Structures are given as C-alpha cells and as structure tokens.
Amino acid sequence: MATYTGEQIRNVGIVGHGDTGKTQLVSSLLFTAGVGNRLTKTTEGNTITDWDEEEVARKITIKTGLAHAEWPGPGGKPCKVNLLDTPGYSTFINETKSSLIAADCALILVDAVAGVQVVTEKVWDYCTEYDIPRAFVINWMDRELASFERALESVKEVFGRSVVPVHLPIGAEKSFRGVVDLVAMKAHLYDPDSSGKAKIEEIPADMAEAAKKAHEELVEMVAEGDDKLMEEFFEMGTLPVEDLVKGLRLAINEKRIVPVLAASGLRNIGSESMLSFITELFPSPLGRKTVSGSKEPGGKGDKIERKIADGEPVSLFVWKTMADPFSGRVSYFKVMSGVVKNDAALTNFTRNTQERLQHIHVQQGKEGKEIAELHAGDIGTVNKLKDTLSGDTLGDKAAEIHYPPARLPIPSITFAIEPKSRADEDKIGTSIHRVLEEDPSLQFSRDPQTKEFLLAGSGQQHIEVVVAKLHKRYHVDVTVKPPKVPYRETIRGNADAEGKHKKQTGGHGQFGVCRIKMEPMPRGGGFEFVNDVFGGAIPKNFIPSVEKGIRAAAERGYLAGFPVVDFRASLYDGKYHDVDSSDMAFQIAGRLAFKEGMAQAKPALLEPIMLVEVYAPDQYMGDIMGDLSSRRGHVSGTETRGHNVIVKGKAPLAEMLSYANTLTSMTQGRASYSMEFSHYDFVPGELAQKIIEKAKAAREGQPVEEEV
C-alpha cells in the first residue's frame, strides 16, 4: 500500500438524511476510481461500506463505513480520498456525529425530489460544530419528479446565500446524463452503462445561456471575498480558470461558499466530476493548520494548538471502535500530528496506559490492509489495543495532549431486556459491554429496585439492532420489554431532618446520629452535599459516610423508585460514640435522615421532555400540531420549506414512545421527525399518582431490602 502525505489526503464525510443515497454514492465513487470490479448496490447488499450483517439485513447504514480511493488532484498528483459513509436515520445519527470528527470536509446529500429534510439540517449543524467545509449534492437526479432547481431552492432557503452551484445537471429524471462543470465551463457526459466514466464536451447549446449565468454568479461570489480577485473581475469581467479554482478552493475552505453538485449514485452519473471536485477543490486535512486539545483530560488545563504536520510529535484520536468476536477490537483513528509507524509504542493519555500499535491498517470497508506508516491527517485502524476506547487520545509520551470527544445527547428511551435463559443471563454482561464499546450512545444498567437489565438508546430500532447483535455474534438471547420512561424524583420544599441509628447487640453497639437540611436545586443540578458541621459534632472521617448513605438512598428513590435529583443536603449536626460509631452506622443514619427529609420536602416526580421536530408536506401541518397537543405537547413554532413545513415543539417522552407509527400513518409515510432530550419537568399530579401506584405494585413481590 502506498502512503500519502497530508496535502494528498481528503477526508470526506458523506452525510445526509436517511435514504438519500449516501452508501450508493460511495459505491459509485469507489468503483469509478477503480476499487473493485463492479458497481455494488445497497439493494443487493454487497456494498463495501454497509458490510455489517445488520446493515445488509435492514438495507440501511447503522455504523460509519470507511473506504478509500485514489484520484488525481492538483497538478495530476495522486490523492487519497477517504470516504466516511455515515448513517442518515435519526436513530443512528449519533454515530454520524461521532465519526464526523475525523472528516475535514463533507458532502451533504439532498434528495432531488424531497429537498431539505430534518437530518439535512442536523448534519449541517454537526459540520458547523466541527468547523468543516461542506458542499451539497443534489442526488437521485434520475428519479421521477427530480428537480435540481426545486431542491436547490430549498437548500438556499434554509442555508442562505453562500450556497451556489458548481455543477448544473444535464437532463433530469430518465434523461439525466451528465453535468456542466461551471468552473471549466465544459459538459461531462456519462456512459449510460453506469461505468462512471465521462466524456468531456462543449456545453450543449440549449444550456449555454443558463450555464453562462450560473458561471457568472459563481465567479462573482468567489471574487467577493478577495480584493485582488475582485479587481481582476472588474477589469476583465471574468476570472481565468486557474484564479477561479484557487479562489474557490480558498472560499470553500473558509466556508464563505457552499458549492452544489448534481448526481445519480445509482446510475453512476456525476462520479468522475465529483471525485475531481473533491481532490481539486476540497481542503486536505492541512487546511485546518492546527487542531486544539488540552493539557489535561476533559478539556482541563492549558489549551494546546497542535500543528497538523509530520514534523510534530505523534498524536492520534480514536473516533470509533468495532468489536469483532473473532479478530477482537478494531480502533479507528485519525493521525492528528506526526507520522505513525507500524509497531509504534504510544501512551494512551486518556487512560494513562501504554499501547503497542501492532499492524496498522487502512480500511476498505470490512477489510484492513496493512501499511507501514500513516502521515498527519490520514485515517487508519489498528487491531487489539488493550485499553483504548472511542474518544481516547494516544501519542508520544513526551507531548501529552487530549482531544475533545464528540458530545452526544443522553440516550432518550430505556428498554428493559430480559435474558431468555440462565445461560443467557450469565453471558449478557460481558457481551453487552462489547456492543457498548462500539456505540457510546447506548447505556446499560441494572435497576436497583427491580434488578432488571436496562438498555437505553435513541429509539426502538437502535435497541433492536443491539438485540440482533447479541444473538448473532454472542449467542445471547434476550426479550425486549416495552420502553420505560426514565422518570426522576425531586423535592419542591425544604426539610430539616434527623437520622438516628442506634443498635445494641451483645457487647458492641452501633451508633450514629446526623442532622441534615435539604433544599431544592435548579433542574440539572444533580445532588450536592455540603458539610456544615462545626466543632466536631461528627468526626471528620464519618462525614463522607453520611454523604454515601444519602447518595445511595437517593439513587433508590423515595416515591416510586426513581433516582432523586436536583437537591442539596447540608449536614450540620450530629452525635457520635467513641466505641460504637462506625462508617456503616453513619451511612445508615444518612439514609434515615434522607428518608425523613423526603417526607417533609414535598417530593415530586419529574419526567423527560423531548425536543421534537417534524418535517412534512404542508397539508399535514394541522394534523401534526393537533396530535402533538393531544400528547401534552407544546408547539413552539412552524417554518415553511417550500411545500414542506417544520413543526417544532416539546412533548413528554412518555407520550412519544409510539410516535413513529402514528406519524407514518398520519402522513402516509411522507413525514420524518427527530427527537432529542430537552429537560426534566414535573409530572402533572394525577398522572404522577398513577405512576407511583404502578411502581408500588411492581415492587410488591420483590425481595425486601435489608436494612444494612
């Protein structure tokens, strides 16, 4: 395998709404660039990037697939194009967010019929968060009713005036056969046999006028950001191609211009033009010049700006982990600085351990190919690291740095899963942790009350995929129970409570007394413990015991078994005994004080409220709004997008568990929505009572917890 230096690399995130044809486009680009000997298709389940068996079975992308191809770049020099084929379904969009960290530019795919959809806006926001230059691809141009103009209009309406075409489609629907390159002002006409190869010709006469107008618009926008080019433009009324290319490259990198291309991935039309666009106009990883990290983990300590260059100390960021039951852990990393050699010994700064990178690879979908070294900016994989997980930074021991991991929303829906047999129960812990390594947006826990296994993710489908993986890879069978709402408890008032634990058994006794004040804290405040003990009423070493007791009791809940949050407990007095006091005695005292405090402090139930965005044709607006209100929701606003409308609002999760089905039947499947955790709010009184009663009934029959 050849190695490439930073300026020869393009790391392209392929992003967009579900089913806009990302995986198919990646297949076409790879095939056109000479990878593989035929055009693979998602419908046939044989693409390079959707290689996971769940992806093949469901025909959607679940994890980001990585592949690469070589294509000539500036001056005819070979470039390595790393393609990150990301998921587009809302349920799996956290994977997109966490892998986009590795990209330095992104192609946002837009359906030529539907225009901008809910995930289009989401991935745009991710690109903004990571500061990634981007371009749009109006894809599916071969489809019936495809309209470049309409899709472009919807993109412009949402993303503003920096959006400008660099390609115009030649023909549409069945007669879509190529694109006009508005930079070189040539037509690229594609083979009808899906080879992806194009003949370069003069612009067809019937498009000459439109192409000229679009070219002028592009030239003007490029010149606008650059005084020298502006002068040249005014003098000559146009720009020479070389200057236009240079200016456009700069404008894209500075995010002043967001170009628009046209394609049909399935018919393999537009692929050569797109590959050349990527290598000629998209930035290399060096386009960012530096990456920011911190001296200490978690963004703490001094900020460090590290140059993305081969001459710098080695540092890697691990953005993804795959757990293979046979070959073990595969870590996907980006070389942030320096040159990584095969067999390098590096420090994992996040976990403070040493790792040896035996066998570094470049990835072609599922296959890893060994490589001797990878330069700053490139993306690779390595097998069998001991302690390294997604989000970790590795590097030269002498030059510690920590790169920030992706910030993912907390998983919104919790399901109880039940092992089918004793053997399944024994294996569930270890196998699920492997699955969790691959997907940091999942959470696994055990309900302290009911002892149920709880799995939280972003939707039913997310959990189903985990269940299928458990079955196929690890032969663990579980059943999924209906989703649970992660309620919380809190207090609305203050309390002043005493916890007294006194027991005399035989010679040695147990003694501890504590007095605490409890008060509510703002939402999201969690739990705070304050030590206000003066004069040694409780010895120092027992103060953490009280805190531990309160914390444990709060975790178990008071009203209905849900964790108590957003309150402060201040320990201000107590009593002890020289002989009989112990850590355990004060833990119990803490727990008793907490219980008494809860009784006084007006306990209340909290429920998660979700941010909901629905995209639909405008005729459904009334139905969607009415339905949301009937779910105790509030509509905060609506926006129009051509013939579509976005309804934004908030609704309690408890009312939204089956929303996907309702929305599909309400709109004949023409709407999409996204849902994300917003905040916790009080459950209305009557409903709260029902939940509390239900929890009580569920707990009956459970073994009674011992007092110690």
Ligand X SMILES: Nc1nc2c(ncn2[C@@H]2O[C@H](COP(=O)(O)OP(=O)(O)OP(=O)(O)O)[C@@H](O)[C@H]2O)c(=O)[nH]1
Q: Which residues bind ligand X (CB under 6 A)?
A: 18-24, 42-43, 60-61, 87-89, 139-140, 142-143, 264-266
Interface region with Mg ion, contact rule CB under 5 A, candidates 21-29, 105-113, 158-166, 191-199:
21-29
Between 43 and 630, name the residue whose CB sits nearer to ligand X.
43
Q: How far is the CB of 493 from ligand X (least distance, A)?
A: 49
Shortest Å, Cβ 14 to Mg ion: 8
Give the binding-site size for Mg ion (rule: CB under 5 A): 3
Judged by DSSP in three states, 363 sits in: strand
Question: Could you say whether residue 329 binds Mg ion (CB under 5 A)?
Answer: no
Q: Which does 265 bind (CB under 5 to 8 A by kind): Mg ion, ligand X, none?
A: ligand X
Burial of 245 (0-12, 13-18, 19+ CB in 10 A): middle
Segment interacting with Mg ion, rule: CB under 5 A, options 53-61, 121-129, 374-382, 679-687: 53-61
The reply to whether 667 sits near Mg ion by the rule CB under 5 A is: no
Beta carbon of residue 85, minimum distance to ligand X (angstroms, whole number): 7
Task: Tell me the closest approach of the beta carbon of residue 41 to Mg ion, in angstroms.
Answer: 12
- Residue 355 near residue 346, CB atoms below 8 Å: yes
Torsion of CA 242, 245, 247, 249, to 10 degrees: -140
Q: How far is CA 451 from the centre of its chain?
A: 30
140 binds, among ligand X, Mg ion, none (CB under 5 to 8 A by kind): ligand X
Least separation in angstroms between CB 533 and ligand X: 57
Q: How far is the CB of 87 from ligand X (least distance, A)?
A: 5
Per CB under 5 A, the segment of 22-30, 407-415, 440-448, 582-590 that binds Mg ion is 22-30
Nearest to 647 by CA among 662, 636, 659, 663: 636
Q: Which does 142 bind (CB under 5 to 8 A by kind): Mg ion, ligand X, none?
A: ligand X
Which CB, 22 or 97, lies closer to Mg ion? Answer: 22
CA atoms of 170 and 152, how far apart (whole Å):
15
How far apart CA 630 and CA 626 sit, in angstroms, is 6
Nearer to ligand X, 87 or 283 (CB): 87
Listed residue (181, 179, 184) closest to 169, CA to CA: 179
| Residue closer to ligand X, measured from CB, 143 or 469 | 143
Instruction: Give the integer Cα–Cα distance in Å for 651 and 226.
Output: 47
Q: Which of 445, 462, 465, 456 is nearest to 483 (CA)?
A: 456
Q: How far is the CB of 16 from ligand X (least distance, A)?
A: 6
Q: Report the distance separating Cα 263 and Cα 271, nearest Å.
A: 7
Q: Of the two residues 22 and 517, which places its CB atom closer to ligand X in the complex?
A: 22
CB atoms near residue 395 (< 10 Å): 28
Alpha helical stretches, state H, 131-262: 148-159, 208-224, 227-236, 241-253
Pick 12 or 266: Cβ nearer ligand X:
266
Does the footprint of Mg ion cover residue 23 (CB under 5 A)?
yes
Give the whole-angstrom CA distance, residue 437 versus residue 456.
14
Helix, strand, coil content of the chain in percent (nearest 5): 35, 35, 35
The least distance separating ligand X from the CB of residue 21, rounded to whole angstroms, comes to 3
CB 604 within 8 A of CB 562: no
Is residue 99 close enough to count as binding Mg ion by CB under 5 A?
no
Residue closer to ligand X by CB (options 145, 372) is 145
Q: Does residue 228 contact residue 106 with C-beta atoms inside 8 Å? A: no
Give me 497's structure tokens: 């409570």
CB closer to ligand X, 142 vs 438: 142
Q: From the list Mg ion, ligand X, none, which binds 266 (C-beta under 5 to 8 Å, kind-based)?
A: ligand X
Nearer of residues 29 and 621 to Mg ion, judged by Cβ: 29
* 154, 115 Cβ separation under 8 angstroms: yes
Which DSSP state fits 690?
H
CB of 114 to Mg ion, least distance (A): 16
Q: Which is nearer to Mg ion, 61 or 94 (CB)?
A: 61
Closest contact distance (angstroms) between CB of 64 and Mg ion is: 10
What's the closest the beta carbon of residue 290 comes to Mg ion, in angstroms? 32
43 binds, among Mg ion, ligand X, none (CB under 5 to 8 A by kind): ligand X
By CB under 5 A, is residue 154 in contact with Mg ion? no
CB 569 within 8 A of CB 528: yes
Burial of 145 (0-12, 13-18, 19+ CB in 10 A): exposed
Q: Which is nearer to ligand X, 150 or 288 (CB)?
A: 150
89 binds, among Mg ion, ligand X, none (CB under 5 to 8 A by kind): ligand X
Q: Which does 80 bind (CB under 5 to 8 A by kind): Mg ion, ligand X, none?
A: none
Question: Quick one: what does residue 541 bind among Mg ion, ligand X, none, with the CB cut-off 5 to 8 Å set by partner type?
Answer: none
> With binding defined as CB under 5 A, does residue 40 bind Mg ion?
no
For 80, phi then psi, to 5°, come to -105, 120
Helix (H) or strand (E) holding 24: helix 22-32
- Residue from 11, 27, 61, 96 in contact with Mg ion (CB under 5 A): 61
126 binds, among ligand X, Mg ion, none (CB under 5 to 8 A by kind): none
Q: Which is nearer to ligand X, 24 or 284 (CB)?
A: 24
Smallest distance, Mg ion to C-beta of residue 49, A: 7
What the block records as the tokens of 105 is 């530019």
Residues 122, 95 contacting (CB under 8 angstroms):
no
Task: Tell me if 393 sits within 8 A of 358, measured CB to CB.
Answer: no
**What CA–CA distance (Å, rounded) separates 528 from 518?**
10
Residues 6+ apart with CB under 8 A from 304: 292, 293, 294, 295, 401
Decide: 373 and 338 in contact? Cβ < 8 Å: no
Which option in ligand X, Mg ion, none does residue 293 bind, with CB closer than 5 to 8 A by kind? none
Q: Dihedrals φ, ψ of 482, to 5°?
A: -55, 150
Which residue number, 22 or 68, has a Cβ lying nearer to Mg ion? 22
What is each CA distance from 541 to 237, 497, 537, 545, in whole angstroms?
81, 21, 12, 8
Query: Minimal distance in Å, beta carbon 165 to ligand X?
Result: 18
Report the residue number, 257 or 266, with the smaller CB distance to ligand X: 266
Strand partners, 167: 181
Q: Which is nearer to Mg ion, 22 or 122 (CB)?
A: 22
Q: Is 22 in the site for Mg ion (CB under 5 A)?
A: yes
The CA distance from 496 to 486, in Å, is 28
Instruction: Return the one option of ligand X, Mg ion, none that residue 20 interacts with (CB less than 5 to 8 A, by type).
Output: ligand X
Distance from C-alpha of 566 to C-alpha of 571, rounded to nearest angstrom: 17
Instruction: Pick one of Mg ion, ligand X, none as the site partner of residue 264 (Cβ within 5 to 8 A by kind).
Output: ligand X
Q: Which does 98 bind (CB under 5 to 8 A by kind): Mg ion, ligand X, none?
A: none
Taking CB under 5 A as the binding criterion, the range among 16-24, 371-379, 390-398, 560-568 that sits at the site for Mg ion is 16-24
Q: Which positions touch Mg ion (CB under 5 A)?
A: 22-23, 61
